[in-house]
Amino acid sequence: MNRADDLRAIFDAGLEAVQPAAVLPPHLPEPPKGRLIVLSCGKAAGRFAQTAEAHYLDRLGLDPKRLEGIAVARTGYGCPTRRIEMVEAGHPLPDEAGLRATLRTLVLAESAGRDDLVLCLVSGGGSANWVAPVKGVGLEDKRAVSDVLLKASVPIGRLNAVRKHLSRIKGGRLQQAIHPAPSLTLAISDVPGDDPEVIASGPTVADPTTLAEARAIAAAFRDRLPASVLAALEDAGNETLKPGAPALARAAYRLIARPADMIAAAARKAEALGYRALVLGVDLEGEARSVARIHAKEALAHARNREKVALISGGELTVTVTGDGEGGPNQEYATALAIALAGSTGISALAADSDGTDGGSSLADDPAGGLVDGQTLQKAARAGVDAQAALAANDSRRFLQAAGALFTPGPTGTNANDLRVICVDTAGAIPDKT
DSSP letter, residue 250: T
pLDDT tens-place string over residues 164-193: 999 999 999 999 999 999 999 999 999 989
Q: Which residues contact 44 (CB under 8 A, 6 or more apart)?
A: 20, 73, 121, 123, 124, 188, 413, 414, 415
Go through the domains of the chain in sequence order and give each one's CATH number.
21-132+167-206+241-257 (3.40.50.10180), 260-424 (3.40.1480.10)
Out of 239-253, 358-372, 406-420, which region has the weakest mean confidence (pLDDT)? 358-372
Out of 81-90, 245-254, 353-362, 388-397, which region has the weakest mean confidence (pLDDT)? 353-362
CA distances from 295 to 32, 74, 363 (A): 50, 31, 30
pLDDT tens-place string over residues 112-149: 999 999 999 999 999 999 999 999 999 999 889 988 99
pTM: 0.92
Alpha carbon distance 265, 276 (integer Å): 14
What band does 365 get if pLDDT is binned at 50, 70 and 90? confident
Q: Is the pLDDT of residue 434 over 50?
A: no
- Extract the runs of DSSP E, i.e. beta strands, from 30-157: 36-41, 67-74, 84-89, 117-122
CA 275, distance to chain mean position in Å, is 28
